[in-house]
Chains A and B, each alone.
Chain A
Amino acid sequence: MAYFMVVLLDDNRMAKLRGTGLEEHIKYMFGGELRLLEVEVNEELKDKILAEFETARVDSRGAITDVPVAFMRELFNQVVEKKSLGPEVVEGVLAKIAEIKEMAAKESEYLPPPEIQE
């Protein structure tokens, strides 16, 4: 089974992606209303993620979900930095595991709510 992680793209992230050459890999879901990128995850990296984060799970599509928000934010940073969607992106994230875990611990207490139009 092929595994992947989804990076959601809002306008802010779209601006950061410009010039990386990854725009052509953007996928659209739900009638084009949702933009995303899929980052490749191999078997070994999948096992590492599941071992490091007890909430992480693989859904029926093969997508790895329920990792901390800090992980997902760093995943996007690594996509931009490495200009890639290959396994080296997740490797880059896992290299910062201690930092991510520290932020994840705080995340279980508080997550800043988004500002939305009332």
Chain B
Amino acid sequence: MSGLLIERPLPHGGRLVERVIEDKAVARKIWKSCNAVYEIKPTLHYETGVPVRNVYREIMSICYGFFSPVEGSMKQAEVERVLKERRLLNEWIFPYPLIFDISKDDLNKLGVEPGDRLGLTLKGKPFAILDIEEIYEIDPEELAYKTFGDPETNPEVVQQKFDKKHPGWVIYRSHQPWVLAGKYTIINPPKFKPPFDRFWFPPRKAREEFEKRGWRTVINHQTRNVPHVGHEFLMKCAAFTGDVEPCHGILVNAVIGVKRRGDYPDEAIVEAHEAVNKYGYIKPERHLVSIVLWDMRYGNPLESLLHGIIRQNMGCTHHMFGRDHAAVGEYYDKFATQILWTKGIPSFGFPAPPTDVPYGLKIRPQNMREFSYCPTCKEMAYSETCGHKREKLSGSFLRGMVAEGVQPPSIIMRPEVYKVVVKWWKQFGYPFCNEKYVINKEKELEVDLEDL
């Protein structure tokens, strides 16, 4: 019997990275030892100047262990290895380069060298330090292309050359050309503003929460969307996987960061998912909403790999992946993520699935298709089991309905979820992310910092 039970996996890399100093006296001492201080700036779109990323989110996710075993801004050799084999220098698999980039002017002004300690401020307050080990130059355009692959090098899944219509490509293309590599340490942990504060479960806290709730098996639902009933059924049914019994818990982990126009605001996303358990559509004892800070790169199979790493680090045993996972446009095959997790993608360094390669992942994929309404069964039905003609739940159809001010029927969006959408619509004057929302959000961020 015991051989059938799935245990909570160790963090990726074997141990959780935790680089956060809570003791203010220690933090002040460290802060005084900095050779220079730099105010973190948002990364601006290389053409339009609109914010597309803030490196503070990467520092948070690294230091709280979401990206374990990564500990800082990558060195040049590590970036090259990640781009070539999707592996860190310590062999563990990892999909994306993560770097602290600055302009030539800023580099000259700082006058820092390897061996120096750089103090990083956020919203004018001390936030973190970067112990510089290496300084090197990159070509942002080359980095952008190499990060996502191309049809010649990665013919298994890449269908189209990446360009400025792809928001992830734009993030890397908009990086500054100089990189300060080294480990980060947060010395003044930011405080999340409502509603985000109640959804902050960094890996150690998430693992403790699972233990407290008696959740040995947990399936993760990745989201950047307000849930419609199709999502709800996806969660409920995917949770039937597990081992000798269905998964004990469903973790909703919402990616908080710069969003595309037309996505719902982050505030609405987290509270709408919370409404699913608050109003009993899934029991709160089985469902937990949480967040991770990350400006999505929309790299479909590569993004799914990062999602697997984050959720394994949080203590999940399973991860659901759908069609077009974390995708935008038709750059990748619609099933690229499912191909990665069932067969592997050799050109990306995976001759086998990421769970079957050395230094790979332990989290188990649950590849899912879609749920839609069946008028014959008179219920939400799974595409691979229902034999009737069904009515598809298209996200854009639903967005159109919301924008026109028409309340979606409860069979496709729960009324409590819709109320959350309208609540934040009233707050922002708009139901979705628009340029005004993105600019304000990136100015205010989802956190505040106290004095050190």
Give chain A's interface residues, CB within 8 Å of chain B: 6, 8, 10, 29-31, 33-34, 55, 57, 59-61, 63, 65-67, 69, 72-73, 108-114, 116, 118
A29 & B391 in contact (Cβ 8 Å cutoff): yes
A118 to B415, CA, bound (A): 10
Asked whether, in the complex, the Cβ of B405 is within 8 Å of the Cβ of A114, the reply is: yes
Known: A8-B401, A33-B409, A33-B411. 10 other contacts (CB 8 A): A8-B404, A30-B411, A31-B373, A55-B262, A57-B396, A59-B396, A63-B394, A66-B396, A111-B425, A113-B431
Are B397 and A109 within 8 A (Cβ)? Answer: no
With A30-B409, A110-B429 known as contacts, the answer to whether A116 contacts B404 (CB < 8 A) is no
* 24 A-B contact pairs sorted by A residue (CB < 8 Å): A8-B401, A8-B404, A8-B406, A10-B406, A29-B373, A30-B375, A30-B412, A31-B373, A31-B378, A31-B411, A33-B409, A33-B411, A55-B262, A57-B396, A61-B392, A72-B403, A72-B404, A109-B434, A110-B429, A111-B425, A111-B431, A113-B405, A116-B418, A116-B422
Contact B410 A33 (CB under 8 A): yes
Those of B94-151 within 8 Å (CB) of chain A: none
List B contacts of A69 (CB < 8 A). 403-404
* Contact flags B385-429 to A (C-beta < 8 A → 1, else 0): 000000110101101110111111111100000110010011001
A118 touches B409 (CB 8 A): no
The chain B residue with its CB closest to the CB of A110 is B429
Chain B contacts for A112, CB-based, 8 A: 405
Looking at the assembled complex, report how far the CB atom of A90 sits from the nearest CB atom of chain B, in whole angstroms.
16
B393 to chain A, nearest CB (A): 9
Nearest 4 CB-CB pairs, A to B?
Answer: A33-B409, A114-B405, A65-B396, A113-B425
Contact A116/B407 with A31-B373, A31-B378 known, Cβ cut-off 8 Å: yes
Nearest-CB distance from A30 to chain B (Å)? 5
List B contacts of A57 (CB < 8 A): 396
Interface flag for B46 (CB, 8 Å) = no
Complex CA–CA separation, A61 to B403 (angstroms):
20
Give A8 to B422 CA distance when docked, in angstroms.
Answer: 19
Distance in angstroms between the alpha carbons of A73 and B404 in the assembled complex: 8
A109 to B394, Cβ gap below 8 A?
no
Question: In the bound complex, do residue B411 and residue A111 qualify as a contact, i.e. CB atoms below 8 Å apart?
Answer: no
Let me know if A34 and B394 touch, CB within 8 A. Answer: no
Q: Select from chain A the residue with minimum beta-carbon distance to B415.
A: A116
Q: Least Cβ distance of B231 to chain A in Å? A: 16
| Chain A residues whose C-beta falls within 8 Å of the C-beta of B394 in the assembled complex | 59-61, 63, 65
Taken together as a complex, chains A and B put the C-alpha atoms of A111 and B409 apart, in Å, by 21
Is the CB–CB distance between B397 and A6 below 8 Å? yes
Which residue, of B397, B400, B403, has the highest number of chain A Cβ atoms within 10 A? B400
In Å, the complex CA distance between A34 and B434 comes to 28
Complex contact B434–A108 (CB within 8 A): yes
Minimum CB distance partner of A118 in chain B: B419
B271 CB to nearest chain A CB (Å) = 15
Are A60 and B397 neighbours in the complex by a CB distance under 8 Å? no
Which residues of A have CB within 8 Å of B391? 29-30
